[in-house]
Amino acid sequence: MRVDALLRAGVTRSFEFFPPKTDEESATLETALEDLVPLAPSFVSVTYRGGEASRQRTFDLVTRVQREGRLTAVAHVVLAGHRRRELAEVLERYRDAGIENIMALGGDHVPGEGPTELTYALELVDLARTVGPFSIGVAAHPAGHPRSPDRASDRLHLAEKLARADFTITQFFFRPDEWSGLVADLADRGVTKPVLPGIMPVTSLRSIPRMAEMGAAVPSELVTRLHAANERGGPSAVRAEGIAAATELCAALLDRGAPGLHFYTLNRSSATREIHAALFGP
């Protein structure tokens, strides 16, 4: 099904995966998929790491998932490192393979790739509209995109982009006010398309600096909470506390009217399954 139709039908639950590079990563992904399929997610999305080989792996995984008929798949399409004609060909391949849903993203240039002809993801949205009847998602950053000069210009650009797309999925964040503020800001700009909150639990202390590098710093109150858990019970207690905090965030978001929840799984299922069970039952 199209994601925009799924969002109109009710609250969605979705999971994100990345295409494996090695046999070990493939085995991990297969286990996660088998574990998560029984939860009947509304859709799953597959990222694109950059480069021609990764682009093919994304295509292969998306089309395989869709062909198996158990899950609705969403393909990430990235404009960085591509000419306009190349992007059109990528979109045509997805259209011809029966893929109805894409995420139109800017991405980061990978060494060795060709020149980037488009500048903004909204241009990729426009291109996708000319290629096929896709349901199109775009990315949002509650704290502002790392490359944006300020939050105001980032929100203006996001509003323009989302006005042409069908939905957005946010970067992960940790406070419900971050989502509420983003939604209210977009509404003030006349854009009321669905904003799906991205969720990633902090399951270890070493994840804290890494998440900041990814553009979403863990707030001080959660850092304190996780360190206190570590003092009580070590790494297992940290993991449990991080999952509890993510579950609380999800519940608050649903209470505030979030149209769904999008879980960044890192190709592993256990934390996502625990949060899902706490919210929706086993």
Q: What is the 3-state secondary structure (H, E, C) of the chain?
A: CCHHHHHHHCCEEEEEECCCCCHHHHHHHHHHHHHHHHHCCCEEEECCCCCHHHHHHHHHHHHHHHHHCCCCEEEEEECCCCCHHHHHHHHHHHHHCCCCEEEEECCCCCCCCCCCCCCCHHHHHHHHHHHCCCEEEEEECCCCCCCCCCHHHHHHHHHHHHHHCCEEEEEECCCHHHHHHHHHHHHHCCCCCCEEEEECCCCCCCHHHHHHHCCCCCCHHHHHHHHHHHHHHCHHHHHHHHHHHHHHHHHHHHHCCCCEEEEECCCCCHHHHHHHHHHHCC
Give the model's pLDDT for residue 42.
96
Q: What is the pTM of this model?
A: 0.94
The pair phi, psi for residue 266, each rounded to 5°, is 55, 30
Per-residue pLDDT of the chain (282 residues; tens, 9 = 90+): 899 999 999 999 999 998 888 889 999 999 999 999 999 999 999 998 667 777 888 999 999 999 998 899 999 999 988 899 999 999 999 999 999 999 999 987 666 677 788 989 999 999 999 999 999 999 999 988 878 888 889 999 999 999 999 999 999 999 999 999 999 999 999 999 999 999 999 999 999 999 998 889 999 999 999 999 999 999 999 999 999 999 999 999 999 999 999 999 999 899 999 999 999 987
Give the model's pLDDT for residue 109.
67
Which domains, and CATH codes, for the chain? 3-203+257-268 (3.20.20.220)
**Six-digit token pair at 220?**
């001080």
**Closest of 230, 279, 235 to residue 254, by C-alpha:** 279
Residues recognised as catalytic: 16
HSE-up (13 A, CA, CB side) for residue 174 = 19
Give the model's pLDDT for residue 199.
97
Rounded Cα distance between 193 and 8, Å, is 10
Give the model's pLDDT for residue 110.
67
Packing angle, helices 220-233 and 235-255, rounded to 10 = 140
> Count of CB atoms within 10 A of residue 248's CB?
13
**Closest of 24, 27, 22, 64 to residue 44, by C-alpha:** 64
